[in-house]
A and B are shown apart, each in its own frame.
Chain A
């Protein structure tokens, strides 16, 4: 009997390995992946790599520009604000609150939304139609308005702003999941599984979830982007973080009155938000493409 271990051409890759091999063949997505890891690690360990405390004031060095402009100090690489607080420290601290908050929101929404969306799509009759009408009504209210109303009901704080944003984004996600699963349910392999007598849980695990990875990545990416934008918008409007918890939108709102004196203060938090969103977008777009190509 001949055992062919020398040549591994005949070895069939698992779907995940195949998707990974497609994913790593593109430079830009791999760079985006490392950037995502870098951002997450920096924001988790932000407290230990801060050059100064984010509330420490240096009264003798106020409104310093970043180090490449004349009249700057090397001790404060990105300059200081009107009370002499280090911009880089505040930026890192703000990134920690915004990015980790958005990731937390995305995670909790994905779990809650998957459970509710899956039950809703497998339900029939009165319960499903009540759910549908309720979602229809909730989806007509703009998310920012929902978030502001919830914030006023709960009271203004950073934690409550996270809660309000996640509740305001939940209906969209449930509806998205619902449509994905509904499209999948009419396909032949799901009907075959049903005829075999599969329970609902097994149907979801083996029949549906492997096939909705691609729309799911798009949905999660959308939720993450909207979460970042809404947390920062709430912080900007003064409904989110307070002066202890500096958050990127709050930083922008505080720099608004200083924008003619030191435009850098408004510039850097915006660029940080922009970088976070674009890096995560490219990463998820890469995953989506490799999943599509892997399925074909």
Chain B
């Protein structure tokens, strides 16, 4: 276990180092800094300043890029997590049904829904969703993360927590307002996630149902319900988590596109606005923030996988 952990941390360090090299060369390329003297000492200086959390100042509003980027990325994460919550509540039961009733009418219906969800371009669905409340006659906010009426100070960057911290001022109004703002963008993202989760769950369930211990359980005389709850669900979980881990960068890509349609103040909007103002210093910082998050998260998920399934302990490379 300790050996595994050491190996993962070592891999993380190497990957992080390569990422800083990429970010460093990108910064030199886009900002056209004149290099005087040794490039290695420049790189070391860069590493030291990154270590202190100093990514430079934005040329448009003179604020530290690192802090702005972290706050923006926190709202992206909030969006992703909320969408993931919706998607797993809807997707996992559907996937389990499809996997258990394989090649059945129900299975075909669920899989067609999943196929349609994967084929829809997310930004187009987002546009449809911005028009939809107006067409149906609902009152739903379609831009921003929170109404400008509420002045919520940035403490953690996650608006759900921050809006709870100002309850003595606004009661729960800020929280509910933020909830109303996040529902439409996250349901767009959830459409993609639901189809992905259905596909993965169905595949994992069919793989487990083929295995010998299920046959053994059947011969033992357990009912179908007992088999599903005792054996199938527990053993189908690790491959689903493992595959979803590989999808996280796609999910972040999609959520960045969705944010731009809904003008939701997240990482996508931050990047888009900065690029339009030709503030190219944000690009290396965005790489470092987003990839750093993905790296740390992949280690955490690896640890989780090792805890719930001992087979994974032998794998050497962090196969992203």
Contact = CB atoms under 8 A, between A and B. Distances in A.
B155 interface: no
Interface string B292-303: 001100100000
Contacts of B134: 260
- Chain A: number of interface residues, binned into ranges: 35 or more
Contacts of A160: none
B204 interface: no
Contacts of A277: 118-119, 121
A278 B116 contact: yes
Q: Is the interface of A mostly helix, strand, loop or mixed?
A: helix
Interface stretch (B13-21, B57-65, B169-177, B304-312): B13-21
Given A152-B30, A236-B123, A256-B127, A145 B256 contact: yes
A259 B131 contact: yes
Contacts, number: 126
B317 A140 contact: no
Interface in B17-34: 18-19, 22, 26, 29-30
Interface of A: 132-137, 139-145, 148-149, 152-153, 175, 179, 225-226, 228-229, 232-233, 236-237, 249, 252, 256, 259-260, 263, 266, 269-270, 273-274, 277-278, 281-282
A237 B319 contact: no
Interface stretch (B35-43, B226-234, B282-290): B282-290
A142 B66 CA distance: 19
Given A149-B283, A237-B272, A139 B320 contact: yes
A87 to B, nearest CB: 16
B205 interface: no
Nearest to B29: A153
Most chain B beta-carbon contacts within 10 A, residue among A134, A142, A281: A142
21 contacts: A137-B22, A137-B291, A139-B320, A140-B291, A140-B294, A140-B295, A142-B290, A144-B253, A145-B286, A152-B283, A179-B319, A237-B257, A256-B127, A259-B127, A259-B131, A263-B131, A270-B125, A270-B127, A270-B128, A273-B124, A281-B115
B3 to A, nearest CB: 18
Given A175-B319, A179-B319, 20 more contacts: A132-B317, A133-B11, A133-B18, A134-B18, A136-B317, A137-B291, A140-B19, A141-B22, A141-B249, A144-B257, A145-B286, A148-B275, A149-B283, A149-B287, A152-B283, A153-B29, A232-B121, A252-B124, A266-B124, A274-B120
Contacts of A132: 317
Contacts of B116: 274, 278
A192 to B, nearest CB: 26
A142 B253 contact: yes
A259 B125 CA distance: 13
A140 B252 contact: no
A136 B272 CA distance: 26
Contact of B320 (A140, A149, A152): A140
B15 to A, nearest CB: 5
B253 A175 contact: no
Contacts of B271: 145, 148
Contacts of A140: 15, 19, 249, 291, 294-295, 298, 320
The 3 nearest A-B residue pairs measured at CB: A270-B124, A144-B253, A137-B18
Contacts of A144: 253-254, 256-257
A278 B117 CA distance: 10
B284 to A, nearest CB: 9
